[in-house]
Amino acid sequence: MKEIRIEANGNLGPIDSSQIPRYAGAATYARLPRLDQVANADVSVVGVPFDSGVSYRPGARFGANHVREASRLLRPYNPAWDVSPFENCQVADAGDMAVNPFNIGEAIETIQQNALDLTAGGSKLLTLGGDHTIALPLLRAAAERAGEPVAMLHFDAHLDTWDTYFGAAYTHGTPFRRAVEEGLLDTEAISHVGTRGPLYGKKDLDDDHRFGFGIVTSADVYHQGVLETVAKIRDRIGKRPLYISVDIDVLDPAHAPGTGTPEAGGITSRELLEIIRGFRGMNLIGADIVEVAPAYDHAEITGVAASHVGYELISLMADNFVAGDRFGAPNGYAAQALDAEARRRPAGFAPSSQGEPGSPLVEPGSPLVEPVETKGATK
């Protein structure tokens, strides 16, 4: 059947969901075009169906397609950034890498080479896993493209800086120790976020600290809040080339049951999305979302969360295509919470018919958001 797509600024966007129902047709991420349907991509989304490195529940090999299926409801305008990511730049779904499920070493080589191929023309890469083993070859490719060790934020319940499992050095619990050993990371600017749960011993933390990682625990996010968390991360990393690796188990099992090594006491999907929105202007060069295991998911809870995390990461990449320095600028929703000045005209909620540009949308002290007419909007 013929595809009817949204097109803007010369970029081929998602299938138009006002013309073709969201649930129809084969799934690509956010209903975006395939990479072979566009001349080139500024941002490529690629799947890595690989879970041979897991230590507990298997199943993340089915993660990428689950996230694609759960991403059908994403709409083209992101009010939190006041950005239309698929208009600002060309985003395309590059399909899945063909990785060997029986040979981890060969799989790692394949992932590294495919990531280099996909970024050869300057495209940024958002990778959907797969288990966390895949972060190592992705970081190798990212550091090679950056031409220097990269800053990294690692959202995860776990440290993933262990040494070996059953003598194996390349697993989903070891990628970031290997990455430090290989000199891929700027050890002045690396941190875990959302860490929690029992460890094998205090040595785990000592080793991790020695490698240079900061730790923002799940409890830290609760006690200090999102804005303080964002401010500390922004101070530490600045505008260095940044890679973000999101293990979906950073979310509480209530928000992401479909994963391999769940830990109670995680952050919420709201907190994770708001933290990423606070990274406005930071130099995101690549990202991954891993450990989505659909066999343990219910009602697409985990898939929906992962698809929205991907949408915010792409929005950050797309926001950087807009002229001007946005480093440290609040996003629309955060601005609403921050102060009355921003509240007058929060990004993404232009006054339109309710007043002159810049005039108060709401009186101080009144409810923040009035009901808005959404006639003709597509759900």
Residues of this chain that interact with Mn ion (CB under 5 A) are 132, 156, 160, 247
In the bound state with Mn ion, the residue whose beta carbon lies nearer, of 65 and 161, is: 161
In the bound state with Mn ion, the residue whose beta carbon lies nearer, of 13 and 173, is: 173
* Residue 132 CB, nearest approach to Mn ion (Å): 4
3-state secondary structure of 6: strand
In the bound state with Mn ion, the residue whose beta carbon lies nearer, of 89 and 216, is: 216
Please count the CA atoms within 13 angstroms of the CA of 260 that sit on its side-chain side.
28
CA 209 to chain centre: 25
Tell me the DSSP string of 98-162: ---TT-HHHHHHHHHHHHHHHTTTS-EEEEE-S-GGGHHHHHHHHHHHHTS-EEEEEE-SS----
* Residue 258 CB, nearest approach to Mn ion (Å): 14
* Residue 192 CB, nearest approach to Mn ion (Å): 10
Q: Is the peptide bond before 194 cis (omega within 30 degrees of 0)?
A: no
* Residue 113 CB, nearest approach to Mn ion (Å): 23
99, 110 in Cβ contact below 8 A?
Answer: yes
DSSP class of residue 32? P
In the bound state with Mn ion, the residue whose beta carbon lies nearer, of 91 and 104, is: 104
Q: Which of 229, 236, 315 is nearest to 280 (CA)?
A: 315
3-state secondary structure of 166: coil
* Residue 255 CB, nearest approach to Mn ion (Å): 16
In the bound state with Mn ion, the residue whose beta carbon lies nearer, of 6 and 306, is: 306
In the bound state with Mn ion, the residue whose beta carbon lies nearer, of 93 and 131, is: 131
* Residue 157 CB, nearest approach to Mn ion (Å): 7
Dihedral Cα 13, 19, 20, 23, nearest 10 deg: 90
